[in-house]
Structure 1
Amino acid sequence: MSDPAQKSMGGIPPIADAPALCQLGVAELRSLYRRGELSPVQVTREVLQHVDRVQERFNAFSFTDHERALDMARASEARWRKGSPASPVDGVPTTIKDLLWVAGSVVRYGSLGTDAKPCAEDAPSVARLRAGGAIFVGITTSPELGWKAVTDSNAFGITRNPWAPAMTCGGSSGGAAVAAATGAGVLHLGTDGGGSIRIPASFCGIVGLKPTFGTVPAYPASAFGTVAHIGPMARSVDDAAAMLRAMSGRDLRDWAQGWMHAAPQPLHDGELAKARIGYWTTPPSGALCPEVGAAVEFAVSQLRAAGARVERVDLPGKDLHRMFQAHWFASAAHRLAGISAAEQSGMDAGLRQVASAGARISAPDLVAQQIGRAHFAAAMDRLLTEFDFLVSPAASILPFSAGLEVPQGSGLSRWTEWAGFSYPINLSQQPACVLPCARRPMDAPAHALPIGLQIIGARGADYRVLSIAREIERLGLEQLFAQSHSREVPR
């Protein structure tokens, strides 16, 4: 606590409370394993103990299996001793969101109304991570069926923000974001159908990538269709990139994946200084919180100072909120149609309301929204030939009270109304990376909360997005923001 910059940013980040072994990233672990100075078993034991502490404080996990994780660690240790690791993520502690199949584990989709039997097979992303030697230390929490952008459920309770436990961590990949922020694992597998990776990444101060649709294969197909992406969450851009490389590629079980996906590439420098950036500041629903807007404006000023050419832009589509809700609500109706009324009675009331609204959408209206989506997505593709990247706030608001879908007293009724910077990019399927850029409010440093910056690229340009994200990460935006606003902090 002796660093004034740390004080001005709101105290020590959650990761600082983790044991030293839990703070290491992929490259550090790989180097130590290669030299024989550390073993996957040592790291896994330390991480599992920390997982238990994180679970007690923040409720980030729906399931853990310590012995199975240690079995994976022993197998990894044997490979490293032979000098033949399975991949760059061999021996790296990893978590899986409770929406993706894990062979031999129970996956409940955040719901008591789903099958409690262990999964018979891995989802493709999970299988690729397993084949690469990643060590599964737990299954992270999700709201019921991943339906909303906060993380609480009747099955597993409320997952809390590690910066301020009274506040939401965002969702639906909230447990993954909390695990990342606290050091309960290095790599974290999330899903994003309307902001479910990017919103909790912003609220918890970590890195989250929604890849180009199809980059990471999906099976079984998401109930929420072609707005639903699978991607990495981590504490650094390099770790997120390592995870993306490990789990991306073609899988013939995923018909929607088609031919298009971003081939794994190394990250490179030099994107920022030559970048043409469109700066998007007006969400299609909800209002931008002034504190978030000021923080992102400061971040953009630093991008300009680093050489980027920045121009304000608006998104090309109209009625995007209605368009997204038609897709999301109709999908929710389809998902619940296979669940009995008796089982539905114990499910999240908000989910049932959304599904009921979706069931009332007519077939002609749904088709009209699908056609409108195609026009919008094509216009977005064209916009990203004029600009190398778009940047925006990751979320229009700061974290609010845990256990609520919308901020109390806001007058909002559904999470989609405050998620206007995320769901349009699910409709258009571009890659979008979120990384922390500031913490607010500065007048209450003991409770300062993270704010995220979103970087959007053309479809297939996932590694360009990660490359510029890494350059921006190296600018140290949080520290620069804190230093420039330190006069606001009471002394």
Structure 2
Amino acid sequence: MKVVDFSVLALRSAIASRSLSSEALVRECLARIERLNPIVNAFSQVFAEEALEEARACDREAAEGCFRGPLHGIPMGVKDLFFVAGHVCQRGSAAYKDFAPKATAPIVQRMIDAGSIMIGKTTTTEMGWSGSGHSEFYGPTRNPWNPELTSGGSSSGSGAALAARMVPFTLGSDGGGSVRIPAAFCGVFAMKGSLGRVPAWPWSATEMLSHAGPMSLSARDSALLFDIAKGPDPRDHLALPDDGVRYLGAELPRRLRIGFAPSLFGFDVAPDIGRVVRGAVETIAQELRLDIHPVAPDWDDPIRIFETLWVAGRGVAYGAQSDRANFGSGFRGLIEASAQYDLADYLSAMKARAEFAGSVHALFEEVDLLLLPTLPIEPFAADRETPEGFSSPSKALAWTGWTPFTYPFNLSGNPAASLPCGLTVNGLPVGLQVVGRRHADALVMAFCQQAEDHVFKEKIPPLVSAGDKAGWGTPSNPTAEISSWNSTGEHF
């Protein structure tokens, strides 16, 4: 059976009506992974037999009228930073290549309890340290829109797997943009909720920055997934109480104050990115009959604050290991850079973070939502951490130089989503970032659900379209397929 609509909501209805079996869906996902994973490198591990066994069990239960939950029989990909009991969690690092946790992360367990089937683990940068899709451990994760280019990171495989339609949804984490960056580059949807909206466990050395959350093809799918994922867990002391709001189908208030910032901190946005984002904002304003006015926040770029917390926290935590030889060069560089910080530096950065967050929250006394580009650039070469010729103000975290619009909202804890809003002239996706006041996750999700009907209506990468024409079981030559792409993303 050919599955045409790969949205979670459509698949849920099809499985509930028994017009689609879970086994057929899992088999199609496995066929897509078999064909496309050698090209894009989105999955680090695939659990084919285990997933099929679970799918058959779901089908038997459905035949008896029993459903595990709203995700009954729907497969997912899980970022290889999340613990899943009985499965290796490599964390993108040779240092953890055989590490098998004994407990499962709350977000993963909630999806399983809702009926989802884990089909595999998706790639990530080492310990999630970088914003590109480059990995010395897995190799680069490539962008399904043009496999010569990066998927973005650190939820690299989660974004690429979605764009390639290998699975209906994935799980990712975001400490500086790590779900929004690949969402923007790969043309999918992701929201970093308010800090603590979805419990994050195990503990992170950057717990004040780190978020867990789903990634999907649409805001509506993510709304359902957030409804399942949100709520406290005793293992995360920062976890928020459930806000009691149903995100799926949430409505916008009649009066809404929306600000649009074409850039932040005076950063140059690529002209074509700016064109697409402005066009999307104008379309949304017209179609939803909203008053969107320009704003120019006078914030100072908090890159030094972020760098201190990110490098000092992670460097000290992992640098305590006696043998660093198994870490990649990028992560070793981070550990070495952490030696320049002392406790006074760290406390000073914490104080500065509080002040910066206060300035962000002050803006949301004047607006309900802030719109801006998710990223100021197009995807670059898949084997690089930064675009060629790019100069970053940070030596240890060069990726922060090209992600100036994502990490600020990790520092402030605001909900921030990346909504696909169009294509550049090179045929590459662009993300519109939608930021709300702290704890206003439902408002961000309601806006995105309304807006997505009018921008970027689920366009499919040519790589995937070619597979639909050829048939998913058709053997492929990954090297030949990659080399047949030109610099504009057109397939010959």
With structure 1 as the length reference, what TM-score do the two structures score? 0.88
1:32-71 deviation digits (Å, cap 9, x = unpaired) = 2222211111111111121121211111011111111112
1:108 alignment counterpart: 90
Question: Which of these residues, 85, 88, 91, is aligned with residue 67 of structure 2?
Answer: 85
1:387 aligns with 2:371: no
2:126 alignment counterpart: 144
Q: How does 1:341-490 map to 2 (within 5 A)?
A: 341=323, 344-412=324-392, 414-440=398-424, 442=425, 444=426, 448-477=427-456
CA displacement at 1:260 relative to structure 2: 4.5
Which stretch shows the higher mean deviation, 242-251 or 419-428? 242-251
Amino acid at match of 1:150: S
1:381-420 deviation digits (Å, cap 9, x = unpaired) = 2322321100110111110111111100122350001111
1:244 aligns with 2:226: yes
1:285–1:417 contact (8 Å) kept in structure 2: no
2:473 alignment counterpart: none
Amino acid at match of 1:387: V
Question: Which of these residues, 226, 229, 246, is aligned with residue 265 of structure 1?
Answer: 246
CA displacement at 1:357 relative to structure 2: 2.0
1:430-484 deviation digits (Å, cap 9, x = unpaired) = 11111111111x2x5xxx111110101122221211111011100135799xxxx
Change (3 A) 1:424 1:475: same
Q: What is the DSSP-based 3-state SS (H/G/I as helix, E as strand, rest coil) of the residue aligned with 1:256?
A: coil
For structure 1, the 5+ residue unaligned runs are 1-18, 481-489
Q: What is the DSSP-based 3-state SS (H/G/I as helix, E as strand, rest coil) of the residue aligned with 1:225?
A: coil
1:289 alignment counterpart: 270
| CA–CA separation in structure 1 for the residues paired with 2:400 and 2:247 | 35
Q: What is the DSSP-based 3-state SS (H/G/I as helix, E as strand, rest coil) of the residue aligned with 2:201?
A: coil
| CA–CA separation in structure 2 for the residues paired with 1:129 and 1:242 | 11
Question: Which of these residues, 40, 54, 64, is aligned with residue 58 of structure 1?
Answer: 40
CA displacement at 1:319 relative to structure 2: 4.0
Q: What is the DSSP-based 3-state SS (H/G/I as helix, E as strand, rest coil) of the residue aligned with 1:391?
A: strand
1:152-171 deviation digits (Å, cap 9, x = unpaired) = 22221111000111101100
2:46–2:121 contact (8 Å) kept in structure 1: yes
Amino acid at match of 1:359: A
1:5 alignment counterpart: none
2:280–2:455 contact (8 Å) kept in structure 1: no
With structure 2 as the length reference, what TM-score do the two structures score? 0.88
1:320–1:424 contact (8 Å) kept in structure 2: yes
1:435–1:469 contact (8 Å) kept in structure 2: yes
Q: How does 1:189-204 map to 2 (within 5 A)?
A: 189-204=171-186
Q: Which of the two has greater helix per residue?
A: 1
Which stretch shows the higher mean deviation, 217-226 or 132-141? 217-226
1:174 alignment counterpart: 156
2:477 alignment counterpart: none
Q: What is the DSSP-based 3-state SS (H/G/I as helix, E as strand, rest coil) of the residue aligned with 2:364?
A: helix
| CA–CA separation in structure 2 for the residues paired with 1:25 and 1:240 | 10
| CA–CA separation in structure 2 for the residues paired with 1:92 and 1:348 | 35
| CA–CA separation in structure 2 for the residues paired with 1:91 and 1:282 | 42
| CA–CA separation in structure 2 for the residues paired with 1:269 and 1:214 | 20
> How many pairs are equivalent?
455
| CA–CA separation in structure 2 for the residues paired with 1:291 and 1:451 | 9
Amino acid at match of 2:388: Q
Q: What is the DSSP-based 3-state SS (H/G/I as helix, E as strand, rest coil) of the residue aligned with 1:454?
A: strand
2:357–2:411 contact (8 Å) kept in structure 1: yes
1:4 alignment counterpart: none
Change (3 A) 1:148 1:221: same
Change (3 A) 1:385 1:109: same
CA displacement at 1:272 relative to structure 2: 8.1
How much is the aligned-residue C-alpha RMSD, in angstroms? 2.1
1:185 alignment counterpart: 167
CA displacement at 1:332 relative to structure 2: 2.2
Q: What is the DSSP-based 3-state SS (H/G/I as helix, E as strand, rest coil) of the residue aligned with 1:209?
A: strand
Identity %: 34
Change (3 A) 1:221 1:22: farther
